[in-house]
Amino acid sequence: MLDPYLNSIALEMWRVAKDRKIVVFLPLVKTSQKFARILNEVGFRATEVNGESQDRAHVLEDFENNRYNVLCNSMLLTEGWDCPSVDCIVVLRPTKVRSLYSQMVGRGTRLYPGKADLLLLDFLWHTERHELCHPAHLIAANEEVAKAMTKKIEESAAPLDLEEAETQATEEVISQREEALAKQLEVMKHRKRQLVDPLQFEMSIQAEDLASYVPSFGWEMAPPSEKQIQTLEKLGILPDVIDNAGKASKLLERLEKRRTEGLTTPKQIRLLERYGFQHVGIWPFEDARRLIDRMAANGWRVPNGINPKEYHV
């Protein structure tokens, strides 16, 4: 899909960056080699390196010494290589992973004598998908808080103290998240289904790391495997709303940890919460089992003398 645009991209690069020192990231070695040839035809001094290049060290040294002014590669130089004089980055490799995009852009963010700025040429509109570094990212605990901080900073008429903005943003994010999750949880408690909704389980055991999980690596973004789906169902979790293997893996790890620690199962949590019991996620498995047995013997009614909202094990 990229091939038909390589010539026009090369011409645009010549128009705006012919005097720059450029690193280009491409999706395939063949595309990288082809683009280097096109750039040379336009007028650049371009070269290419890949994992099979026998003269890689020599080529990189020549680039650093300005024999070439464009270096094309297919994901070879995302980390572990540093050339501070690079002042233009072109990312022609699509990616949904912000950390990978940041690594590629980061090849041009080093300080260097006489280097005034970094020119990022965004032909694939990555910047519509990925936020790069704002002041908020220096101290924010996560991306959600960073976005809220950035919004506050941009909307403020006067300069804001970063730590003060971070405190305010964190409080707002937590409040909004708790409100939204409380509404969802209330709905889920009354659903009549055999398996437990993952969000209800996560909220019941106070697992914010699971509720706010975002996949980072390629394997984590893939759909859950058949084995993961079957295991989750066997353990009482509804797998339909889990859309990636990373989340499935995290849930299975947490379920196994709770089993070894002798804590309540998802089905126990769901059943007891339907009767109004509180904080069931931290109950021991045996205490929950005994109470459920008493309720079953009582015709699935809460035994006399027990107030679910005040009951403690």
Question: Does residue 67 have a pLDDT over 70?
Answer: yes
- Angle between helix axes 29-42 and 6-17 (nearest 10 degrees) is 50
Look at residue 85 in the predicted model and tell me its pLDDT.
Answer: 95
Q: What is the pLDDT of residue 47?
A: 95
- Which string of DSSP letters, residue by residue, matches the chain? --GGGHHHHHHHHHHHHTTS-EEEE-SSHHHHHHHHHHHHHHT--EEEE-TT-TTHHHHHHHHHTTS-SEEEESSSSSSS---TT--EEEE-S--S-HHHHHHHHHTT-S--TT----EEE-TT-GGGT-----GGGGT-SSHHHHHHHHHHHHH-SS---HHHHHHHHHHHHHHHHHHHHHHHHHHHHT---SSBPHHHHHHHTT-HHHHT----SHHHHSPPPHHHHHHHHHTTB--TT--SHHHHHHHHHHHHHHHHHTBPPHHHHHHHHHTT-SSGGGSBHHHHHHHHHHHHHTTSSPPTT--TTT---
Per-residue pLDDT, 66: 93
What pLDDT sits at residue 165? 86
What pLDDT is stored for residue 81 in this prediction? 84
Per-residue pLDDT tens over the stretch 5-22: 999 999 999 999 999 999
Min mean pLDDT across 105-109, 146-150, 179-183, 248-252 is at: 179-183
In percent, the amount of the chain with pLDDT more than 70 equals 95
pLDDT tens per residue across span 219-235: 888 899 999 999 998 88
Please write the tens of the pLDDT for every residue from 52-62: 887 888 999 99
**How would residue 76 be classed by pLDDT, with cut points 50, 70 and 90?**
confident
* pTM more than 0.85: no
Residue 156 reports pLDDT greater than 90: no
Q: Encode pLDDT of 257-300 as tens digits.
A: 999 999 999 889 888 988 999 889 899 999 999 999 999 999 99
Axis crossing angle, helix 162-189 with helix 143-155, rounded to the nearest 10? 130
In the predicted structure, residue 215 carries a pLDDT above the cut 90: no
pLDDT of residue 97: 79
C-alpha distance from residue 144 to each of 147, 173, 219, 256, 272 (Å): 5, 7, 23, 29, 32
- Across the chain, mean pLDDT equals 87
The token pair at 158 is 């006067």
- In which residue ranges of the chain is CATH 3.40.50.300 found? 3-133
Return the pLDDT at 190.
54
Residue 163 has pLDDT above 90, yes or no: no
| Domain boundaries 3-133, corresponding CATH code | 3.40.50.300
Buried b / exposed e over 16-47, threshold 16 CB at 10 Å, is ebeebbbbbbbeebebbebbbebbeebebebb
The answer to whether the beta carbons of residues 235 and 255 sit under 8 Å apart is yes
Per-residue model confidence (pLDDT) at position 188: 55
Phi-psi region of 86 (alpha: psi -120 to 50; beta: other; left: phi over 0): beta
